[in-house]
């Protein structure tokens, strides 16, 4: 089975951490008094981009804007499916101005961009998973936004309730591994979800990879998989072993400076699905 995992080339949008910092606290990971090493952050980020390119993926960049320290978390600005781009409306006023430069980037790349009326944070809470989109709510993105996204994208949205503030975005608690025998499979941390949502996930994904709290706290679920290679936080050691057992090829990339802002690999990566 290991040899059968086939990678699919992806197109990613990222934003250089030139102005990255922790200046406010909008999740439990953020402590403005704890310094960020910007040089180290830049080097870690570059290693991620290099790893994507080395594995055949296309990486495009949006110009960072001064005064928007979280703009490096490209995943939060939009979610795209089949060439349709559903924009963002950030919950925190500090992040609201990030939407415009990303919208502008998408428009100049030839996409129409839908401006949502309800609070939502792109791929942070919307995770396209083949025939449907898994969508988080509870901290940032609202149920109303799930409805809006389903209406605009024309793809069924399955709402999941997040309950642990350390896992405030769906992409901190779950990621899509890829196609396994004709259906998408996922990895996730069950305790991040309400009991009902846990049951939904267990029914939809009986063969999911179940991660431990340690893996989740190491940002192991904030991973990007191309169907074969999984770009994953090196601290998620038990998850890495499970992925290798399942025939995936873990590609460890350390983004520890970004963990100080509550983000990891996936947060820094917006996938463009045309």
Query: Which C-beta is closer to ligand ARG: that of 5 or that of 219?
Result: 219
**Of 87, 124, 136, 250, which lies in the binding site for ligand ARG, with binding defined by CB under 6 A?**
124
120 is catalytic: no
Residue 219 near residue 236 (C-beta atoms within 8 A): yes
Which range binds ligand ARG by CB under 6 A, 154-162, 168-176, 207-215, 246-254? 168-176
Query: Which C-beta is closer to ligand ARG: that of 27 or that of 42?
Result: 27
Q: Is 134 in the site for ligand ARG (CB under 6 A)?
A: no
Return the bridge partners of 79, or none: 86
Query: Which C-beta is closer to ligand ARG: that of 124 or that of 190?
Result: 124
- SS3 label, residue 145: helix
- Please identify which of the residues 15, 57, 259, 267 carries the catalytic annotation: 267
Positive/negative CA dihedral, 203, 209, 168, 62: negative
Q: Is 127 in the site for ligand ARG (CB under 6 A)?
A: no
| Residue 30, phi then psi, degrees to nearest 5 | -90, 125
- The interface mask with ligand ARG, positions 68-107, x = CB under 6 A, is --x--x-xx------------------x------------
Taking CB atoms within 8 Å and a gap of at least 24, the contacts of 93-99 are 94/23, 94/24, 94/26, 94/70, 95/26, 95/68, 95/70, 97/65, 97/67, 97/68, 98/65, 98/68, 98/70, 98/71
Residue 141 near residue 120 (C-beta atoms within 8 A): yes
Query: Which C-beta is closer to ligand ARG: that of 68 or that of 201?
Result: 68
Return the bridge partners of 270, or none: 13
267 is catalytic: yes
Nearest-approach distance from CB 168 to ligand ARG, in angstroms: 7
Query: Which C-beta is closer to ligand ARG: that of 59 or that of 249?
Result: 59
**Of 261, 265, 271, 272, which lies in the binding site for ligand ARG, with binding defined by CB under 6 A?**
261
- Please identify which of the residues 169, 229, 259, 268 carries the catalytic annotation: 169
**Radius of gyration (C-alpha) of the chain in whole angstroms:** 17
Cα–Cα distance, 180 to 134 (Å, whole number): 18
- SS3 label, residue 260: coil
Q: Is 263 in the site for ligand ARG (CB under 6 A)?
A: yes
**Of 103, 148, 171, 215, which lies in the binding site for ligand ARG, with binding defined by CB under 6 A?**
171
Binding residues for ligand ARG, per CB under 6 A?
26-27, 30, 70, 73, 75-76, 95, 124, 169, 171-172, 261-263, 267
Which positions are annotated as active-site residues? 169, 267
């Amino acid at each position: 089975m290991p040899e059968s995992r086939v990678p699919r080339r992806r197109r990613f949008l990222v934003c250089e951490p030139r102005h990255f910092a922790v200046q406010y606290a909008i999740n439990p990971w953020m402590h403005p008094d704890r310094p960020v090493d910007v040089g180290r952050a830049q080097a870690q980020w570059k290693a991620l981009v290099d790893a994507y390119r080395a594995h055949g993926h296309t990486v495009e960049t949006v110009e960072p804007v001064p005064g928007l320290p979280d703009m490096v978390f490209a995943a939060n600005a939009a979610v795209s499916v089949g060439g349709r781009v559903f924009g963002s409306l950030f919950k925190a006023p500090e992040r609201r101005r990030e939407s415009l430069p990303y919208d502008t980037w998408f428009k100049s790349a030839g996409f129409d961009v839908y401006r949502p009326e309800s609070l939502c944070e792109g791929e942070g809470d919307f995770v396209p998973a083949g025939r449907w989109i898994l969508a988080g709510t509870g901290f940032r993105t609202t149920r109303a936004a799930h409805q809006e996204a389903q209406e605009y994208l024309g793809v069924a949205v399955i709402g999941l309730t997040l309950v642990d503030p350390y896992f405030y975005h769906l992409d901190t608690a779950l990621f899509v591994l890829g196609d396994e025998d004709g259906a998408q499979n996922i990895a996730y941390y069950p305790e991040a979800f309400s009991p009902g949502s846990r049951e939904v996930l267990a029914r939809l994904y009986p063969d999911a990879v179940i991660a431990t709290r340690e893996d989740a706290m190491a940002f192991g679920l904030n991973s990007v998989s191309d169907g074969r290679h999984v770009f994953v936080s090196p601290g998620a050691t038990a998850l890495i072993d499970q992925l290798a057992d399942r025939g995936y090829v873990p590609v460890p990339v350390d983004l520890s400076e970004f963990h100080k802002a509550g983000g990891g690999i996936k947060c820094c990566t917006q996938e463009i699905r045309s």
